[in-house]
Amino acid sequence: MEEAINSAQLEGASTTRRVAKKMFQEVRTPKTEDEQMILNNYRLMVETKLLKDVPLSIDMILHFHKIATDKTTQNSVKPGEFRDDNEIIIVDSNGETIHQPPCYTKINQRLENLCEFANCNHSGENGEIFIDPIIKAIILHFMIGYEHPFADRNGRTARAIFYWFMLLQSEFLFYLFL
């Protein structure tokens, strides 16, 4: 619950922790889009637990995005659909472009490569390259932000993939979602 609230507030949800906690305790329907964002984050975290043993795929990424965007309308988001243009640019506080994601026509192939990386064994065993699981989770999170495959809610989807990967790592299970 706390992480769902923090994550939504990080993304701009304007509601208090008290109101958000009360919504969960009363098991009530969200009254605002901000509350819906918090509920979606909570549902996303629950879903990552359920799918922790499933290999990352394009379908899973789209599924996470669909949950993250359920009943929200900001930036004309299309739940569970990749962006279909190159109109996305990331700007700083002065309006200067600091990042323009790769061309939308390459999203599928680039995310297939990301899924292959996510599902590859990097434990260092049997001659495999070792990548610390936390570093690998950070790379996955970063790459979703870099690729920016959706019109909106890329950060929430990236965090879901981060959580999914960390849950996949059995030695880290006791740290997350206790």
pLDDT digits (tens, 9 = 90+) for 5-61: 666 666 666 666 677 677 777 788 888 778 788 888 888 988 999 999 999 999 999
Q: What does 17-51 look like in DSSP terms, one character per residue? A: HHHHHHHHHHT---SSHHHHHHHHHHHHHHHHHHT
pLDDT digits (tens, 9 = 90+) for 93-119: 999 999 999 999 999 999 999 999 999
Q: Could you tell me which CATH number the domain at 2-175 has?
A: 1.10.3290.10
pLDDT digits (tens, 9 = 90+) for 125-146: 888 899 999 999 999 999 999 9
Angle at the Cα of 145 from the Cα atoms of 139 and 146, rounded to 5 degrees: 85
